[in-house]
Amino acid sequence: MKNKLSRLTIPYVIWMALFVVAPIIMVVIYAFSSADGGFTLSNFAKMGTYAVVFTRSFKLAIIATIICLLIGYPVSYIMSKEGPRFQRIAMVLIMLPMWMNFLLRTYSWMSILENNGLLNQLFQKIGLIALYNNIFGTDIQFFRMINTQGAVVLGMVYNYLPFMILPIYSVIVKMDNSLIEAARDLGANTFNVFRRVILPLSLPGVLSGITMVFVPSVSTFAISKMLGGGTELLLGDLIEQQFLGGAYNPQLGAAISLVMMIIVVICMVVMNRFGEGEEQAVMM
């Protein structure tokens, strides 16, 4: 019986081998190859040139993750305390944008944030821009919003927020209410119930939320291209350029990908350690 069932996993194993394991191996091989196919470390030697891009990518991804956490945790918490009807509606509202194509969503943000986009037109209509000019003695026609780091972070937060909310929500909503009652019974006020019971118990959800927001944020290229206007080059853009752009150099692209992957893995390991440590720290 067990053998028969385990046979069902064969297609998946083949799939994984072909489309996950093999490409990673290819990335590793490419990263250590020169253009003519020989072994070389020169791809990694160039990495220093791109330190700025690495720093910027990680900085923006960290900011986006923190904002997602600050918005996502309270939303998940409040949602889980409401009635089932509220929860269903809120869940649909959170998922709704994800039913639309990712690029389409990001394009809409372009037309909202553009110099003569929706927001700037609105500001003009309500006289906000004139007011700004009066106060600061400037003479601007619009607020510059698109093609800034802020716009890129906004795009990341907008696109990845559901990935923060869902895991945290699912952990909190499953939490046994009698644990909270027990804490109250033992003398904990609302703050202590949260700090000593709800927060430590929701940590696994927080950790997976952070992972699910941080990893796609750090490697995104569409968002920075569309909302950052290419001026704020991120790792994703850099890698894309090596494979598809004018700077065609797949060996270098593979090396950058590999370094990024390693940094992300290190970040995750440290995060999970920190998570376990936090659990201990709460007990102190």
- Which ranges constitute the DSSP H helices of the chain? 2-7, 10-16, 22-31, 42-45, 51-81, 84-95, 102-113, 118-125, 128-136, 149-174, 177-185, 190-193, 199-219, 222-227, 235-243, 250-283
**275 touching another protein, by CB under 8 A:** no
Per rule CB under 8 A, is residue 82 in the interface with another protein?
A: no
* Residue nearer to another protein on the CB measure, 105 or 195: 195
Minimum distance of another protein from residue 251's CB (angstroms) = 47
Nearest to 92 by CA among 171, 173, 165, 157: 165
| Cα angle, residue 173 at apex, residues 167 and 176 outer, rounded to 5° | 125
Which residues make Cβ contacts (< 8 Å) with residue 207, sequence separation at least 6? Answer: 271, 272, 275
CB atoms < 10 A from the CB of 109, how many?
Answer: 21
State which residue, 135 or 284, has the beta carbon closest to another protein.
284
Q: Which of 14, 26, 130, 179 binds another protein (CB under 8 A)?
A: 179
* Of residues 23 and 82, the one with the C-beta less far from another protein: 82
Least Å distance, CB 216 to another protein, is 29
Which of the stretches 6-14, 49-57, 184-192, 265-273 binds another protein when contact is defined by CB under 8 A?
A: 184-192
Verify binding: residue 281, another protein, rule CB under 8 A.
Answer: no
Query: Mask of contacts with another protein, 133-172, x by CB under 8 A?
Result: ----------------------------------------
For residues 151-185, b (16+ Cβ closer than 10 Å) or e, as one string? bbbbbbbbbbbbbbbbbbbebbeeeeeeebeebee
**Angstrom distance (rounded) from CA 181 to CA 160:** 33
Q: Which one among 68, 129, 172, 197 touches another protein, defined by CB under 8 A?
A: 197
Enter the tokens of residue 70. 């600050």
Determine, following the binding rule CB under 8 A, whether residue 198 of this chain makes contact with another protein: no
Count residues binding another protein (CB under 8 A): 20
Amino acid 240 reads E
Of 28, 263, 268, 282, the one binding another protein (CB under 8 A) is 282
Nearer to another protein, 178 or 231 (CB): 178
We find the least distance from the C-beta atom of residue 280 to another protein, in angstroms, to be 10
| Chain residues in the site for another protein (CB under 8 A) | 176, 178-179, 181-189, 192, 196-197, 200-201, 279, 282-283
